[in-house]
Amino acid sequence: MKLQIALLLTVAIIGTGSAAKFPNAFSRCKQEDGNCLLEAVTATFRNFHKGVPEIGLVPLDPLRIDKMDIVQGDGPINIVLNFKKVDLGGFREAQIKKINGFTSNPTKMEMNILVPVASLVGGYRINGKVLILPIQGEGNSNMTMVNCDISLKWTGKLVEKSGQQFYQVDKFKVHFDTSRFYMDFSNLFNGDKALGDNMNVFLNDNWQDILKELKPAISAAFTKIFQAVVSNVFNKVPYNELYLA
């Protein structure tokens, strides 16, 4: 299986070195206080989903992705799928189930997020074959995952910049599971409604087989998305200022 991923996020990388200013309602915890961290990160998704520029936190719901390409050249699914100006939504309702590694000298960190309904909505273009059927079209799309269980794991280290310690992300990995995967592509087959409707029914009837083939590519795309979001905060805020004294 050959997978190629190209991803471009609408994320303004903010320079390091200036003191971060947390909103008054923003929750911070003492290092290694696991219960507090679970509540604080969940509250961040709930209350600050529009982003906090002062600490480098970009809007999380929706998270705008300017461009994302999935190219899969082998196996039952052989497609080129291009997304353009799509929004990843649903994270306002995210629940943080596990968080580890936020210590005084961090190396490995992990976070487990449950999103009740996560949707990727926006423009698409597709060409290729799905299982036994050819597919092509260009228009608007909606890919929705129910009970999307996302595991984020990354490694890194503290580095000194301008006399302060910042956490620098090295390797980042995302895995996910979902109890249901829905797909809807408008304007398939040059607007042939009968063919398009039948293809959408076929895709959703066979979602488990399709997701099995696309899962590595989607995980790779999620990896780039969440690495950019997490790194943006760590690049902006000195590590010790993320916590209460």
Q: What's this model's pTM, rounded to 2 decimal places?
A: 0.86
Residues 168, 117: Cα–Cα separation, whole Å: 31
Pick the range with the lowest mean pLDDT from 20-24, 90-94, 158-162, 200-204.
20-24
Residues 6+ apart with CB under 8 A from 168: 156, 157, 158, 159, 234
Identify the pLDDT of residue 14: 33
- Which two three-digit tokens encode residue 20? 């971060």
The helix-helix angle for 207-236 and 193-205 (nearest 10°) equals 80
Residues 6+ apart with CB under 8 A from 153: 108, 109, 110, 172, 173, 174
Residue type at 13?
A: I
Question: How confident is residue 18, by pLDDT bands cut at 50, 70 and 90?
Answer: very low
Identify the pLDDT of residue 106: 94
CB-based contact 83:66 (threshold 8 Å): no
Question: For 163, which DSSP code?
Answer: T
Sign of CA dihedral 69, 60, 50, 28: negative
CB-based contact 111:44 (threshold 8 Å): no
Region 188-204: mean pLDDT is: 96
Q: Cα–chain-centroid distance for residue 199?
A: 27
Degrees (nearest 5) of the Cα angle 229, 231, 233? 75
- Which two three-digit tokens encode residue 242? 């993320």
Identify the pLDDT of residue 75: 81
End-to-end C-alpha distance for the chain, whole angstroms: 49
Pick the CATH number of 34-242 from 3.15.10.30, 3.40.50.300, 3.30.310.10, 3.40.50.150: 3.15.10.30
Q: Is 88 or 7 the better-scoring residue by pLDDT?
A: 88
Pick the range with the lowest mean pLDDT from 124-138, 172-186, 231-245.
231-245
Region 81-97: mean pLDDT is: 94
Say if residue 5's pLDDT is above 70.
Answer: no
Identify the pLDDT of residue 73: 75
Residue type at 224?
A: K
Maximum CA pair distance of the chain? 64
